[in-house]
Structure 1
Amino acid sequence: MVSEVIEDMLKRMQSHPGVIGSVIINKEGQVIKSTLDNTTSLQYASLATRVCDSSVDALRNIDPTNDLTFLRVRSKKHEILIAPGKKFKNSKWESLRLTMRRNLLWKIFQIKFKIECILC
């Protein structure tokens, strides 16, 4: 059952235009499933987990009753989208899901990068 949910999630993420890889990670930042190579998956899983955890801590310092529902981090080259949930930490890399686009506001340098986390 869980593996079917994970496979469906990967297929759904891969179906978006410009997506070249997907990674699903658990709450501890361990890779559960990935369409990327192992080194890249581990690197981005670690970074996504740290960004997500830091954001949750910062938000709770401001308002302890509030929860993080969505986070977008933009740079000139990348965009990271993090959407915490309850079952998985799911990372979607749209820069490892390459879309050749030029500096569109939040679309990133010729590569589109998204991370969507769904927390355990």
Structure 2
Amino acid sequence: MLSKKTKYGIKALVYIAKQEAKIISIRDIAEQEHISQKFLESILLSLKKTGIVGSKKGKTGGYYLLKDPSEISMTAVMRTLEGPIAMLPCVSLNFYEKCEDCPSEETCSIHTVMEELRDASLSILNSKSLKDLI
């Protein structure tokens, strides 16, 4: 299930993108998208750290996209806000960890299915950008 953090992050990015390269105040985003401003600050900070949005301080400050919406993949947004795309750490491409309760990935009954699910999810997310959502 998609977390509220990721859902709100995507909604904020779509809102910013629709404003056509203006600097948008966090208050405006929060009001228009019905998101707690405090929670939104945390979300936008995560997106800023990974180079998806930039910010300007001051009275006329706010947030803006650092890239064209067509260059912001849903994979990047999901990994920034949600973490691993894979449902199990043993099939994750970027956050791999061996499952402690599994003696062998080769003989694991669910490993292959989880790899297929990861690949299908990545295929969809890699083919979608922020532009597709606006």
What TM-score bracket applies, with the shorter chain setting the length?
0.3 to 0.5
Q: TM-score, normalised by structure 1?
A: 0.32
Bigger helix share: 2
TM-score by length of structure 2 reads 0.30
Structure with greater strand percent:
1
